[in-house]
Chains A and B, each alone.
Chain A
């Protein structure tokens, strides 16, 4: 049986998202275990140059849906093109990043192809000739192992959960015929903050809560900048209007899994933990030694964040020379 794995890349403004490399690496590991080929599909406009590097992350074939109509992400156009490719390629496994766009495409495809979907997976393994995905449920209170019935098995993997691995493959480029089909959704405009590290992809996140006492997050911004990290916030800080809702970490905000999460002036409510408890290392800075966050943190500092955070920044500057 000729099997294959198809990974779907995601690029924005001519740059691949980090989760593209993660899903490609994960796809390579699955393809190796299945003993089959890995293809990657890139959608966009004038994407050939940036796509060449994908061979280094394990792609045997690089399929380009290169067309002016795909310059911006449109849910219906993208779903139509991806579904066409899947119908031609008939992969057994489709793997993509569970970004805003990836989740959208995955959900739409599962319905169109009547295919099983494991959304926002934190781990994938191939055992006894079968894929098992682990996904987090109930805001991270439960981890579920799931198996799939039918093909293609669609896996959307959570950003920052898979290792990026280099695997030099041929990465032959193939241009595919693009037909966006019938579409209704139109692009009007976008506003992107350039130069800002995306919260869900950041290796380091520095978050502030009600303990910030006001909208001045400059101490956290400085620390995040030194660490090439992103700034997050608790819901209270968002409710107060100190930060935008896009910065909220938690059950009704973003779920982040950075290497290092630094919680400043955050008490550690269960809804906040739901968004950050899968971080590898957690540091809490709080002036209340009884704050519940300390019972979930690997390292804690009892003290005033306005005193501690700038001192941490100073120490890091010393470290960086």
Chain B
């Protein structure tokens, strides 16, 4: 890979999550959510990852593989990514009855990645269901490769990747040799829609279905999750508050400031 421009093998870590407008209810066991009425979509940050992968491929050549750990339902999300233009999908089926926490998911993903060639791995900064911000960097750690998180711009040249990452109050530019993993942040791109021909083509693209033992993992040694949910609740519903009265806009503004200052002590 030294000096010469080289094709880039890209793997996107993709999770299927409830659409953000879905109502989330707590299931009878008190530690999981009801899944009956949920509309499932690609995690929005992973959609950025798919788009960025396609752009890297368009610029450098190479291929885009989608890797997901989940139930069979996740095939839909992979198929959508293939319709956007990814080349192939791999779904690792999570065995029934085993709960994967972020760390276990990262173990499964990194084990699967030992059999998949890659120069660049792209993950979302977080999945909007568990909001863990963990799987990307943990997968990189298990693979022993560098990672850069919260990336809004990347450039690949001469076997190196330069990334602009957002931090509190600004951006920082970091550089890493490949192979490496980066996670996406809003602002990196606007994901394309799957075109009709794209959707047709996706039907013929391969999706490998595997389970943990196919990739050499013993479901028993995957272990118990280290972080265990003991109860779920919904936060106290925010209620409609007070509409501030006043004859004029001036009066309303004055009344609001008075309340915020004297009663709420927020000012």
Q: Which A residues fall within an 8 A CB radius of B?
A: 12, 17, 72-76, 79, 98-101, 103-104, 106-108, 110-112, 114-120, 132, 135-150, 184-194, 196, 198-201, 204, 227, 238, 244-246, 248, 251-253, 259-260, 270-271, 274, 277-278, 280-283, 289, 294-304, 307-308, 311-312, 314-316, 319
9 contacts between A and B (CB under 8 A): A108-B140, A108-B147, A145-B230, A184-B177, A252-B45, A277-B235, A295-B238, A295-B239, A296-B240
- Cβ of B170 and Cβ of A190 under 8 Å apart? yes
Interface size class of chain B, counting residues whose CB lies under 8 Å from the partner chain: 35 or more
The 10 A-B residue pairs whose C-beta atoms are closest, nearest first, are A245-B187, A311-B253, A116-B226, A192-B170, A111-B141, A111-B138, A107-B137, A298-B241, A315-B257, A188-B173
Residues of B within 8 A of A110 (CB): 102-103, 134, 138, 226
Taking a contact as CB atoms under 8 Å apart, the answer to whether B134 and A117 are in contact is yes
Q: Other than the known A108-B137, A145-B229, what 4 A-B pairs have Cβ atoms closer than 8 Å?
A: A106-B134, A136-B131, A143-B235, A319-B261
- Whether A138 contacts B149 in the complex (CB less than 8 A), given A270-B21, A311-B253, comes out as no
Is residue B148 within 8 Å, beta carbon to beta carbon, of the partner chain?
A: yes
Q: How near does chain A come to B231, taking the closest CB pair, in angstroms?
A: 5
The interface residues of chain A lying within 8 Å CB-to-CB of B148 are 75, 185
Mask: chain B, 127-164; 1 = CB below 8 Å from A; 0 = not:
01111111111111110001111101000000000100
B174 at the interface (CB under 8 A from A): yes
CB neighbours of B232 from chain A (8 A): 137, 142-145
Interface residues of B (CB under 8 A from A): 18, 20-21, 24, 26, 33, 44-45, 102-103, 106, 128-142, 146-150, 152, 162, 165-177, 180, 185-187, 224-235, 238-244, 249-250, 252-254, 256-261, 264, 266-267
Nearest CB on A from B118, distance (A): 16
**CB <8 Å contact, A111 and B106:** yes
User: Are A117 and B103 closer than 8 Å at their CB atoms?
Assistant: yes
The smallest beta-carbon distance between B165 and chain A, in angstroms, is 8
What's the A-B contact tally at a CB cutoff of 8 Å? 270
A13 closest partner in B (C-beta): B169
* Chain B residues with CB below 8 A from A146, complex form: 227-230
Cβ–Cβ < 8 Å partners of B133 in chain A: 98, 103, 107, 119-120
Q: Which residues of B contact A283 (CB under 8 A)?
A: 256, 260
Give the CA-CA distance A270 to B20 in the complex, in Å.
8
Contact check, B224 vs A142: say whether CB atoms are below 8 A apart: no
**What distance in Å separates the Cβ of B17 from its nearest Cβ neighbour in chain A?**
9
B226 touches A115 (CB 8 A): yes
- Verify A143–B20 contact, CB threshold 8 A: no
Q: Is A253 in contact with B186, judged by CB distance below 8 angstroms?
A: yes
The smallest beta-carbon distance between A199 and chain B, in angstroms, is: 8
Most buried by B among A98, A252, A270, A277: A252
Q: Determine if A190 and B175 form an interchain contact, defined as CB atoms under 8 angstroms apart.
A: no
Shortest Cβ distance from residue B45 to the other chain A in the assembled complex, whole angstroms: 7
Closest to A135 in B: B131
**Do residues A308 and B253 form an inter-chain contact, with CB atoms below 8 A?**
yes
Q: In the complex, what residues of A have CB within 8 A of residue B140's CB?
A: 108
